[in-house]
Structure 1
């Protein structure tokens, strides 16, 4: 396994945080507002006033304004000189398009991470995330908490690979494609998707969902490819892994 120069290893201590261009308070506010928008807690066409949001989230207006600027760049809100920031309606087509773009970017990140080489400590951490994900699925019982716990590990797994690519531009581009929930099943939590999904498929399952068993298997195969230093295989697995979400959502949205 290739080693990186001293001081060049990616910071994986907070893999779920946004890139560090903004102050720490903005990271938390940005993630909270993004999740509120994509899950419909803040409906489309809602005008976003910094003062009201600052009161609701118990923060100052500075991180709110910074977060709104990022959300505008991501396309989740629109900005007008006379109207300020307004939540944009996200369609199921937008979600599918974002997954397509993300698949290519994440495949590139996986490939680059292998080509650059993983440090032993970072690879051990990746393996531990995979192990914890498997442990959750192997319990055989499912719940909303289990879903949240697994998706948090899933997000950390992907973020670890993004950081290992050592390409901030690529990480930022990937972040801007996440216009659907990352801490749960978009078939349940993303209104633009859920509206096209039969009600029975929007319930939390009582047994481990098949699509998560498949996703976990992808994580394990990807970890193996990284360990074998097979960059092409790592990129292929990651691209197909991300596209699997689109295939599943499209299938259940047209199954009525």
Structure 2
């Protein structure tokens, strides 16, 4: 179940991913798009991206096809691939849909059943992220590591559903970064919140403490075999991000 190490965080092996090079390129391109490093409306040429990322054009083309399915880029016969402009409304809509889909994934994972190995790994991931959340201090590196464990926690639940259609649908809702606080690192969200809300705190942010507590609750419900309770807890957990953004956006 364990995979390679990324920035000090053990990454989750994903059997649905194809070639490792394609997965790496997909991750890098997705990050460049959601952080605004590649601006909306930019035409994405396989040749130029291959040169920039120092890879062949094959993984670039595969990654662009996935990003198109996810809705982050648009494809037309005449223009090829271009980066889609994402609005704050799009982000809210994606969170609403993701809350329902992730809740469903949580319920299905319990219904399908967890192996002892899978459940132990989920608990280990939760414990590792909890160790970060309870340190007291905070930094960009700690934020990134916590969100990487957060990604692994969710991804493992998706995997245990053994439902590829559901996993593909969830990936199409990823319109904001999963590797850091979206209020800080998403240009779409940052444009609608005050600058002070985007500053990195010196201590563990309250929303991280709350989200970590959600993980512990979800883990406990999965262990107890409470499929409906786990579904509700996961849906509430995902919607917490939307509630937080809405609250911060009114501080102007």
Give the TM-score taking structure 1 as reference length.
0.92
The partner residue of 1:19 within 16, 25, 42 is 16
Q: Identify unmatched segments of 5+ residues in structure 1.
A: 1-10
In structure 2, C-alpha distance between the alignment counterparts of 1:39 and 1:215, rounded to whole Å: 22
In structure 2, C-alpha distance between the alignment counterparts of 1:121 and 1:18, rounded to whole Å: 16
In structure 1, C-alpha distance between the alignment counterparts of 2:76 and 2:110, rounded to whole Å: 43
Report the alpha carbon displacement of residue 19 of structure 1 after superposing the two structures with TM.
2.7
The partner residue of 1:214 within 210, 213, 216 is 210
User: Contact 1:12 / 1:163 at 8 angstroms: preserved in 2?
Assistant: no
What's the secondary structure of 2:81's corresponding residue? strand
The partner residue of 2:170 within 160, 174, 192 is 174
In structure 2, C-alpha distance between the alignment counterparts of 1:15 and 1:109, rounded to whole Å: 17
What's the secondary structure of 1:141's corresponding residue? coil
- Partner residue in 2 for 1:47: 43
User: Contact 1:95 / 1:179 at 8 angstroms: preserved in 2?
Assistant: yes
State the Cα RMSD in Å: 1.3
What's the secondary structure of 2:156's corresponding residue? helix
Say whether 1:114 aligns with 2:93: no
Say whether 1:196 aligns with 2:192: yes
Report the alpha carbon displacement of residue 176 of structure 1 after superposing the two structures with TM.
1.2
Show CA shifts across 1:118-149 (max 9, x none): 11111111111111111111110000001001
Report the alpha carbon displacement of residue 76 of structure 1 after superposing the two structures with TM.
1.1
What's the secondary structure of 2:12's corresponding residue? coil
Say whether 1:67 aligns with 2:63: yes
- Partner residue in 2 for 1:147: 143
- Partner residue in 1 for 2:231: 235
Report the alpha carbon displacement of residue 39 of structure 1 after superposing the two structures with TM.
0.6
Show CA shifts across 1:39-61 (max 9, x none): 10001111111111001111000
The partner residue of 1:225 within 207, 221, 225 is 221
User: Contact 1:12 / 1:160 at 8 angstroms: preserved in 2?
Assistant: no
Which one has more relative contact order, counting CA pairs under 8 Å at least 6 apart?
Answer: 1
In structure 2, C-alpha distance between the alignment counterparts of 1:31 and 1:42, rounded to whole Å: 14
Moved over 4 A (4+): 11-14
Give the TM-score taking structure 2 as reference length.
0.94
Q: 1:117 to 1:12 in 2, by over 3 A?
A: farther
What's the secondary structure of 1:184's corresponding residue? coil
Report the alpha carbon displacement of residue 191 of structure 1 after superposing the two structures with TM.
0.7
Report the alpha carbon displacement of residue 91 of structure 1 after superposing the two structures with TM.
0.6
- Partner residue in 1 for 2:88: 92
User: Contact 1:16 / 1:155 at 8 angstroms: preserved in 2?
Assistant: no
